[in-house]
Structure 1
Amino acid sequence: MLIREATAEDWPAIWPFFHTIVAAGETLTYPLQLGKEDAKDWWFLAAPNRTVVAVDDTGTVLGTAKMNRNHMGNGSHIASGTYMVDPEHSGRGVGRALCEYSVEWARASGFRAMQFNAVVETNTHAVKLYRSLGFEVLGTLPEGFNHPTEGYVGLHIMHKAL
């Protein structure tokens, strides 16, 4: 697996699984009806932030991540990241590779920590992955997320010092 900078040419491969994940409404705080062009603008970030894709040996996009400054001004030393793995390729270490990549990017870019603002507590695979990489739950916003089948569930704030 190769992780590389995402380009506009990758969007047609990203959009189908991006749309599926967002429209399901189970893991991200994005608008469920987010359209293709608006989604692209949300996902592709300008430098010094970064958007990447994980691809296999044939160039197939397996997943994508965006990593960015979490706060502005005097809080700009904290990074964040968001990850999406094509469900057809889940369970193969793509999410772990993308998360590890973003942690290394943040460290190399001089950030002092990473913070995830809204990890849905029922997204147990993500919570387990982030914990295995050294992230801790700092707190949970009770009923901060309206899950389509579980109802109101908590949103974790997760943190890792770099």
Structure 2
Amino acid sequence: MRIRKAETADKAAIWKILEPMIREGETFPLPRNMTEWEALEYWFGKGASVFVAEEEGDILGTYHLTPNQPGGGSHVANGGYVTAPHARGRGIARAMCLHSFDMARTLGYRAMQYNLVVSTNKAAVHLWQDCGMELIGRLPGAFHHPQEGDVDAFVMYRTL
């Protein structure tokens, strides 16, 4: 597997990864009825650096880095990661997370912050902590989970 910068030709494969996550509505605070165009505009939005994990031409996952805030907060990166359903459990998210730390440093960021890690996404919470992210805050009821109702979300952070 290799991780590389996404190209325009990857957009269809990235949509195939983003769409199930968006429709499930369990891990990202995105509208579940988002269109392909809206999702790709979000993922490739202003200031975003987008990457894909691929193996033999199969896109297994994608992540993006953006400034967490403009101006005085732009030295802190924000990351979003999605693994293709058929590739889950293979260490793709871990590889993308660690790769993103290196890329963030290369891009001049000095820290990484995840603003809304859904508490019910226990695998992600554990993985991010295992990769060095620290849980620095709990946002009570900040995420409306389609099955669980309002659940807590976490803010996670680490210096690079």
> What's the TM-score, normalizing by structure 2?
0.96
CA distance in 2, matches of 1:144, 1:99: 24
Q: How is 1:13-52 mapped onto 2 (pairs within 5 angstroms)?
A: 13-46=13-46, 49-52=48-51
Unaligned runs of 5+ residues in structure 1 are none
SS at match of 1:141: strand
**Deviation at 1:103?**
0.7
SS at match of 2:137: strand
> In the alignment, which residue of structure 1 is the partner of 2:72?
74
CA distance in 2, matches of 1:83, 1:134: 16
Aligned residues: 160
> In the alignment, which residue of structure 1 is the partner of 2:7?
7
Give the superposed CA RMSD. 1.1
Q: How is 1:2-151 mapped onto 2 (pairs within 5 angstroms)?
A: 2-46=2-46, 49-56=48-55, 58-151=56-149
CA distance in 2, matches of 1:126, 1:43: 19
Unaligned runs of 5+ residues in structure 2 are none
Letter in 1 for 2:88: S
> What's the TM-score, normalizing by structure 1?
0.95
CA deviations over 1:12-71 (Å, ceiling 9, x no partner)? 112122111111010000111100111111111455x31010000x21000000011111
CA deviations over 1:68-91 (Å, ceiling 9, x no partner)? 111111111111100000010001
